[in-house]
Chains A and B, each alone.
Chain A
Amino acid sequence: MRLTRRDFAAGIAAGIAAPYLIKSANAQGATIKIGMCAPVTGPAAESGGYAIKGAKLALEAVNKAGGILGKQGELIVEDDQTTNPGIVLAFSKLASQPDIVGFLGSIRSTQVHAMAPDVIKLGKPVMIGGTDPNLTHMGNQWLFRCRPNDSYSGRVIAEYGVTTLAKKKWAVLHSTDAFGTAGGKALTAALEKLGAPPVLDQGYANQSQDFTPVVLAIKQSGADILGSYFTFENDLGIFARQLRQLGVNIPWVGSPSIVNITALKLAGPALYNTYGVADYAEDSSEGSKAFGKIYRDAVKVAPDNQSSWTFDAINVMAQAINKAGTTEPAKIREAILAIKKFPGAEGEYNFDQNGDGLHGYNIVKNEKGNITFDKHIEFND
């Protein structure tokens, strides 16, 4: 057979077009794929396991109810190793798969900051659990938060401590990572607004082995109440034990990590009678109760926010894609922002134009290891 110039040109054109055609065909595959970056290894591997279980349970329910755009949903998990480079790598692996229509990012703000530039480049929706308020206020239109941000948690901690517990001399303790710093700032600002500026603002580095200097600083400050933002449960457990051992028994209102399962197991009685702001509290709503039952039946442990936010993230994304009627990113984005009064495990979702779905927190108390719901505080601003 003689190869003409026209045949040759056609062959080259086909060669160039083929990868795109194959990618396009894959994108219209048998399932709708959702990518998830989760800590399978590293310090947060335990909570990462809970997060994956939450997402899988939601997807099972979505698939049973007819799926996404009539197809079955499929979860593709990549290990973020609980590190910033890890999540950048995990996200780039997922982003290189064109048939993935949306993503679940991290519950850790620091990691979300690390992956955020790549999220903008990709231009597809990413559901996040990181609570640094800046994440949805820095011009990244593809981040959607399925937990209330720390501007709310700071206000709720301050409000509860000053008004309900009637304490005015605050020690504020926070991690020095993005989450802890933002949380500490939000709490300090809220306390100043209430006329009770903290007597101690103390940062600490993650993965500390000893908190004696911190506890002694709290003791010396004369604080009569402690507000905290801990990132890792190991740190919280070590601090809680040393706090009690060194005789500091002032009331303690902490960020959500104070009531998560791992922290309760590690710290044990050292966390009894503490208060926490919790985005997930089992008795706070019908949606929360329903999730609690599904989770307990399937996983056999008590649910916490590690699993509830991923459960909601999948449900929100599935509903948005179904409403949009397409997997086109811009249409999904519009559909997510249009979601109002959606009953999730974390509470009622009303997305604002920044991409924040929730605008309030629950106050819970640790009563001998049992987390009891006190009240929900919602903000409308």
Chain B
Amino acid sequence: MDLALQLLFTGIGIGAVYSLVALGFVLIFRATNVVNFAQGEFSMVAAYLMVVAVEAGLPYWAAFIVALLGMALLGAVFNLGVYYPLRHRSYLPVIIATIGASILLANSVLAIYGPQPQVLEGWFETPGIQVGPVYLDSQYLLIIGVTICLVIFNFWFFEKTLLGKKLQATSQDKEMASLLGISVSTMIMITFIYSAVLGGLAGILVAPVLFVSIQMGSTIALKAFAATIIGGFGDVAGAIIGGLALGVIETFGAAYVSVPYKDGFAFLVLIAFLIFRPQGIFGERVAEKA
């Protein structure tokens, strides 16, 4: 039982990271109908920005704000440079452009900062707390807390605010949204900025656990992409549930079946969903909406 509790906590912690990145995938997909394969690199860039800001002597909270502002800027530039010129083309050129952008981002960071993995200290001086038989890593606690807050914020933002409703309208039918006087390009710009900030947030939060390296983004993004499909592509709740489920499944699979095949469990689940429920957990609801 103690073992299961420890595994559950860790699984939820790592799953929360997948959820945050998956959320970025979903938001951009809903707004543009394309998958942004540079979403993982947003996490990596933000983690490096954070390291640079901390090394420059900024207090941790200020470095955090600077890194997120940097990500907002990157999201805007990404929209203008990668999506906007191709917005009238089919989804394929845009997807290829996002793959190209991800390679560009990874190699730019490599060229500027070098290949050295970096250590980013966590928010708290105490690495964790022992609650009975379970050790709660403070960074994972923070990640879980931020994910819960973001779920609440997303619900409030998309369901209760005018801007959120405009974003939803744009994602559901761009032409109709445009006829209703909504600036579609502005909404898409906001979506890219928000998604870049979300990806960046995931990168900054997970950096003290996984270290800051050029590969960190692609490793997380692969799982987040799987989580998005499991949850139901295009569904915010699906991304959250999919990410958490993936984290828990792979952690328990590693502990009770086989450690070397840990990644295999995540992708076995993905394959099972693609065969038996390709629309994902919340797929039907989205289909009904459409």
A279 within 8 A of B: no
Does A48 have its Cβ within 8 Å of any Cβ on chain B?
yes
B211→A176 contact, CB < 8 A: no
Residue-wise, chain A 176-191 has the 8 Å CB interface mask toward B (1 for contact) of: 1000000000000000
A209 engages B7 (CB within 8 Å): no
Q: Is A87 part of the contact surface with B, judged by Cβ < 8 Å?
A: no
Is there an interface contact between A265 and B119, defined as CB atoms closer than 8 Å? yes
Contacts A213-B255, A237-B211, A246-B135; A208 near B127 (Cβ below 8 A):
no
Q: A41-B115, A213-B7 are in contact. Are A234 and B263 (CB under 8 A)?
A: no
In Å, the complex CA distance between A237 and B259 comes to 18
Q: Hey, what's the 0/1 contact readout for A34-46 against B, CB within 8 Å counting as 1?
A: 0000001111011
Give the bracket for the number of chain A residues in contact with chain B.
Answer: 20 to 34
CB distance from A17 to the nearest CB of B (A): 43
Interface flags, B216-248, vs A, CB<8A=1, else 0: 000110000000000000000000000000000
Cross-chain contact B211 with A234 (CB below 8 angstroms) = yes
Question: Which residues of chain B from 1 to 46 have any CB-CB distance to chain A below 8 Å in the complex?
Answer: 3, 6-7, 10, 14
Structural contact, A217 and B14, CB atoms closer than 8 A: no
Residues of chain A with a CB closer than 8 A to B220's CB: 209
Inter-subunit contact B128/A48 (CB<8 Å)? no
Query: Who on chain A is nearest to B136 by CB?
Result: A245
C-alpha spacing A204/B263, complex, angstroms: 10
The answer to whether B211 and A266 have CB atoms under 8 Å apart is yes
Is A329 interfacial (CB 8 A cutoff)? Answer: no
Indicate if A96 sits at the interface (CB-CB under 8 A): no
Which residue among B14, B128, B259, B263 has the maximum number of chain A CB atoms within 10 Å of its CB?
B259
The answer to whether A213 touches B262 (Cβ under 8 A) is yes
**A234 contact set on B, CB distance < 8 A:** 117, 210-211, 213
Nearest chain B residue, comparing its CB with the CB of A175: B260
Contacts of B251 in A (CB 8 A): 210, 212-213
Q: In whole Å, how far is B239's beta carbon from the nearest beta carbon of chain A?
A: 18
B215 touching A204 by the CB < 8 A rule? Answer: no
> Which of the residues A216, A233, A238 comes within 8 Å of B6, measured between beta carbons?
A216
Taking the closest CB of chain A, its distance from the CB of B29, in whole angstroms, is 24
B213–A209 touching, CB < 8 Å: no
Interface digits, A185-203 against B, CB 8 Å rule (1 contact, 0 not)?
Answer: 0000000000000000011
Interchain CB contact under 8 A, B3 and A203? no
Residue numbers in B under 8 Å from A207 (CB-CB): 215, 219
**For residues 182 through 233 of chain B, which have their beta carbon under 8 Å from a beta carbon of chain A?**
209-211, 213-215, 219-220
Interface string of B243-278 (1 = CB under 8 A from A): 000000001001100011111000000000000000
Residues of A within 8 A of B215 (CB): 42-43, 207
Query: A265 — which chain B residues lie within 8 A by C-beta?
Result: 117, 119
Contact at B117–A176, with CB atoms within 8 Å? no
Find residues 233-292 in chain A having any chain B CB closer than 8 Å to their own CB. 233-234, 237-238, 245-247, 262, 265-266, 268
- Taken together as a complex, chains A and B put the C-alpha atoms of A266 and B118 apart, in Å, by 7
Interface membership of A380, Cβ < 8 A = no
Among B110, B114, B209, B260, which residue has its beta carbon within 8 angstroms of that of A238?
B209
A204 vs B107: C-alpha distance when bound (angstroms): 28
Q: Counting CB contacts under 8 A, is B90 at the interface?
A: no
The answer for the CA separation of A183 and B65 in the assembled complex, in Å, is: 45
Partner of A217, one of B116, B210, B255, B261: B255
Is A214 located at the chain interface by the 8 A CB criterion? yes
B18 → A minimal CB distance (Å): 10
Is A61 located at the chain interface by the 8 A CB criterion?
no
The reply to whether B260 and A216 contact each other, CB–CB distance below 8 Å, is no
| B10 and A205 contacting across the interface, CB-CB below 8 Å | no
Give the CA-CA distance A247 to B220 in the complex, in Å. 27
**A96-131 near B? 1/0 per residue, CB < 8 Å:** 000000000000000000000000000000000000
Q: How far is the CB of B3 from chain A (nearest CB, A)?
A: 6
Query: Are the C-beta atoms of A43 and B213 separated by less than 8 Å?
Result: yes
Contact: B263 with A205, CB < 8 Å?
Answer: yes
Which residues of chain A come closer than 8 Å to B119, judged between CB atoms? 265-266, 268
CA A15 to CA B255, docked complex, whole Å: 66
The answer to whether B117 touches A238, judged by C-beta atoms less than 8 angstroms apart, is no
- Say if the beta carbon of A343 comes within 8 Å of chain B: no
List of A residues within 8 angstroms of B211 by Cβ: 234, 237-238, 266
Q: Which residue of B lies closest to A207 (CB)?
A: B219
- Known contacts: A202-B259, A204-B259, A234-B211. The answer to whether A41 contacts B10 by CB under 8 A is no
A347 to B251, CA, bound (A): 43
A217 near B259: Cβ-Cβ < 8 Å = yes
B3 touches A220 (CB 8 A): yes
* Alpha-carbon separation in the docked complex, A277 to B114 (Å): 29
Q: Could you say which residues of chain A place their CB within 8 Å of the CB of B3?
A: 216, 220
List the A side residues contacting B110 at CB < 8 Å.
41, 45
A212 cross-chain contacts in B, Cβ below 8 A = 6-7, 10, 251, 255
Contact for B117 among A46, A214, A245, CB less than 8 A: A46
* Given contacts A41-B110, A213-B251, A237-B211, A247 and B262 within 8 Å (CB-CB): no
Q: Are B7 and A204 in contact (CB under 8 A)?
A: no
24 cross-chain CB contacts under 8 A: A43-B215, A45-B115, A48-B115, A49-B114, A176-B260, A203-B260, A204-B259, A205-B259, A205-B261, A208-B262, A209-B14, A210-B14, A213-B7, A213-B251, A213-B262, A214-B254, A216-B6, A217-B259, A233-B117, A245-B127, A245-B137, A262-B116, A265-B117, A265-B119
**Given A212-B255, A213-B254, A262-B116, 8 other A-B residues pairs in contact with their CB atoms under 8 A:** A45-B114, A205-B263, A212-B10, A213-B7, A217-B255, A246-B135, A266-B211, A268-B119
Q: 8 closest A-B pairs (Cβ-Cβ)?
A: A45-B115, A213-B255, A213-B254, A212-B10, A176-B260, A46-B116, A203-B260, A46-B115
